[in-house]
């Protein structure tokens, strides 16, 4: 029997392949968090040489940004094709990063390896028979004690959950993805910042939150931004 990729794997590989020749730009909340200062943001920003992991780097928009800051950048994505496409993009721009195939709950790096982990629009993606908690446990495993997580977390009111089917673990099975990449897949949703904090507290502390409520011409994106520190005692 052929070893077929799960639909979300092949869908995203094709999606990013179509963008291979296009210029990319970093996500706004990533730039603001790493470079700006805000009264409600408690964050030890990375310095040149710090190890930073870019989870689900996609077309490399944030990977390029991280490389430009002088960090030691690594990243994971769900297929070898995506890894190859983005490695080629970085090479053309004169950057180098350690990009590998991995999943939210299976990160191919050693324990206590990273100073910072960036999870932009990805930490709430749950493979079958796995949960958001499994993802967070794995994130914490590869982070140094006291390391920092910068993540966006899906709000239950966001467009992607339209007509989605709730699951017992708090995730929802997507049914009407306007981009056609995630139908049938499970994403975890949160209704409040306090709920996000409750889920993350077993592994993280010192929380800072932001929130995005964007209407992109009929696509209503709602996301929590969260910055937090891995517990020293783990």
Whether 31 contacts 154, CB under 8 Å: no
- Report the largest interatomic distance among the alpha carbons of the chain, rounded to a whole angstrom: 57
What pLDDT is stored for residue 3 in this prediction? Answer: 45
Neighbouring C-alpha atoms within 13 Å toward the C-beta of 176:
8
- pLDDT tens-digit series, residues 171-224: 999 999 998 899 999 999 999 999 999 999 999 999 999 999 999 999 999 999
**pLDDT tens track for 49-103:** 999 999 999 999 999 999 999 999 999 999 999 999 999 999 999 999 999 999 9
Class of domain 7-35+47-230: alpha beta
Among 220, 198, 222, residue whose Cα is nearest residue 210 = 222
| Contact status, residue 78 vs residue 5, Cβ threshold 8 Å | no
Q: Is 217 left (phi over 0), alpha (psi -120 to 50) or beta?
A: left
Task: Judge whether 32 and 65 are in contact, CB under 8 Å.
Answer: no
Task: List residues bridging with 6 in a β-sheet.
Answer: none
Tell me the pTM: 0.95
């Amino acid at each position: 029997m052929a070893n077929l990729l799960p639909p979300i794997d092949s869908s995203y590989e094709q999606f990013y392949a179509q963008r291979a020749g296009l210029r990319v730009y970093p996500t706004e909340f990533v730039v603001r968090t790493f470079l700006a200062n805000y009264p409600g943001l408690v964050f030890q920003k990375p310095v040149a040489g710090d190890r930073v992991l870019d989870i689900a780097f996609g077309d490399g928009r944030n990977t390029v940004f991280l490389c430009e800051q002088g960090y030691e950048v690594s990243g994971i994505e769900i297929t070898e094709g995506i890894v190859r496409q983005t490695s080629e993009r970085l090479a053309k721009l004169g950057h180098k990063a350690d990009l590998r195939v991995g999943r939210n709950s299976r990160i191919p790096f050693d324990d206590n390896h990273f100073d910072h982990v960036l999870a932009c629009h990805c930490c709430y993606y749950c493979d079958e028979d796995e949960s958001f908690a499994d993802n967070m446990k794995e994130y914490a495993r590869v982070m140094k004690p006291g390391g920092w997580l910068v993540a966006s977390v899906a709000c239950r009111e966001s467009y992607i959950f339209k007509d989605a089917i709730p699951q017992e673990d708090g995730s929802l099975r997507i049914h009407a993805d306007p981009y056609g990449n995630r139908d049938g897949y499970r994403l975890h949703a949160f209704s409040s910042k306090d709920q996000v904090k409750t889920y993350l507290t077993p592994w993280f502390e010192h929380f800072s939150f932001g929130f995005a409520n964007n209407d992109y011409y009929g696509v209503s994106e709602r996301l929590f931004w969260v910055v937090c520190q891995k517990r020293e005692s783990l």
